[in-house]
Amino acid sequence: MSGHNKWSSIKHKKGAADAKRGKAFSRVSKEIIIAAKEGGGDPALNARLRSAIASAKAVNMPNDNIERAIKKGLGGGDGVQMDVLTYEGYAAGGVAVIITCLSDNRNRAAADVRSIFNRYNCNMAGSGAVAYKFHKKARFVIEGENANEEKLFDLLLEGGADVEDISVDDGVAEVLAEPGAFASILKIFEDNGITTTESGISLIPENTTLITDVNVAKQVQKFVDVLEDYDDAQEVVTDMELSDEVAEQLANEEEE
């Protein structure tokens, strides 16, 4: 998973650097809607919702916005039905891509995503075409002094959590586990005062597609950036792994 983690870290830092308040609100609002839709509106009984609300408060989202998002997820509020939609395809270099959207209009979302695929000469595929390459995992991202592999391992082991992988890359820790372990891991972090920068149920590639050409990597990155900027998009995942040389070149270019 090291290559995937490296790409996740690069993406994460880039996103943190250029995040805007409105975009942050939109992302956490959609996560609240999905969490409430799938697990109910009581944070005490829905760990994913509790985590989403904590993320919303971390970006200073007003309580009224949080309540509206919960109501939308439960099918109330403004009466608009929000659906979780998934689209699949291939980007440059044969990189598999899955886009999860939250939309009130299935036809519009499908047309918009297809248009983005076509614009960047990527191939949209049918349902299941690339989904088998990914598995749902509970995923937590931790930054700062708590991004310590040994500390997190000991803490989670002592708490009896079943964790699959803990990795740290340049001050960013990523913890992966089976989806069913999400609530128990979140509680351990909460009880020990550890704040997660990101947490949720994410799609993680079982294997990766290695990219050794920096131009191909840039094409995929641009395509992913545009998908992530799409209003209905909630999560965009790929199976791209960057070679050390390409990752270093991209990192150097970002610093310039």
Backbone angles phi, psi at 109, to 5 degrees: -60, -45
Which pLDDT belongs to residue 10?
A: 43
pLDDT of 130 strictly over 50? yes
Q: What pTM was estimated for this model as a whole?
A: 0.78
Which pLDDT belongs to residue 153?
A: 93
Nearest residue to 227 via CA among 102, 70, 117: 117
Exposed/middle/buried for residue 54 (C-beta within 10 Å: 0-12, 13-18, 19+):
middle
Give the position of tokens 């919960």. Answer: 70
Residues 190/199, Cβ–Cβ less than 8 Å: no
pLDDT digits (tens, 9 = 90+) for 137-184: 999 999 889 999 999 999 999 999 989 999 998 889 999 999 999 989
Class of domain 2-73: mainly alpha
Domain 134-205, architecture per CATH: 2-Layer Sandwich (3.30)
As a whole-number percent, the residues of the chain with pLDDT over 70 amount to: 89
Angle at 38 between CA 237 and CA 127, to 5 degrees: 45
Give the position of tokens 């920068």. Answer: 197
Considering the chain, tell me which residue range(s) the CATH 3.30.70.980 domain(s) occupy: 83-132+208-240, 134-205
Domain 83-132+208-240, architecture per CATH: 2-Layer Sandwich (3.30)
